[in-house]
Amino acid sequence: MNKQLKKGLIDALPIFFGYLSVGFAFGIYALKSGFPIWSPILMSLTHISGTGQFALVKVANIGSGIFEICIAVTVLNIRYILMALAISQRLSPSISIWQRMMIAMADTDEIIAVALKQRTLVTFAYMMGLFLSSYAGWNLGTLLSVIGGTLLPQCVINALGIALYAMFVAIIIPDAKRFRPMLYCISIAAILNITLKFLPLCIRPNGSWSILIAGITAAVIISAIYPEKNATEQEQADNTLPQKEGE
């Protein structure tokens, strides 16, 4: 097995288990909303987005048509444009346009967060490893919910819904503790996002636009305060570091 593919599969194990629980919760929600037994499985196979899939079911429940559903899901998922721009700067130049289109299917919060933690350029095989492991967890969870999800009490199902958020926090916190600019960026984005919630309803952006605005603003502020060194400057800085005895 390709080493990068194997590494991606292993690195995505936390995502696998997180998606397993959230996919399970989604399947239960869809079935209890009156959807046929095959529909949550089909949705998970073709659309990996927790927020988008839950919203799809909710909007469909109020009698919206296909056009309204597509618009609602698109607006909710518009934040992925920001994530796609971030990961595009870290992809290996050898990745073709067709491979990039396949990687776009893996453009989720957790997968991008893990990929951006890599200290080298990300390969296509590594991204496919992240995607396959995560995709398996999401769809396995949905399948299990269809098979026996009705046996669980509602309190357990509700608890499964927060697993995705807990997993995402667990991914970003270690790096935020080691790298102060990242901690500052996360903090600024969180404060801005909360602040936008208090704007008058007529000008308040929805949840996805709020995240997009807060994320871009925080990134611009931190980039201005902590500009990234180019390769030459970084190499010179590394050469000036004191060497340990025996090195």
The C-alpha atoms of residue 162 and residue 173 are separated, in whole angstroms, by 17
pLDDT in tens, 30-75: 888 888 888 889 988 887 777 778 878 877 877 777 787 787 777 7
* Rounded-to-integer distance, Cα 203 and Cα 26, Å: 31
* Confidence (pTM): 0.66
CA distances from residue 129 to 4, 144, 169 in whole angstroms, order as listed? 7, 23, 21
Count CB-CB contacts under 10 A for residue 106.
22
Kind and range of the H or E run holding 217? helix 207-225
Helix (H) and strand (E) counts for the chain? 14, 0
pLDDT digits (tens, 9 = 90+) for 89-134: 888 888 888 998 888 888 888 888 888 888 889 999 999 999 999 9
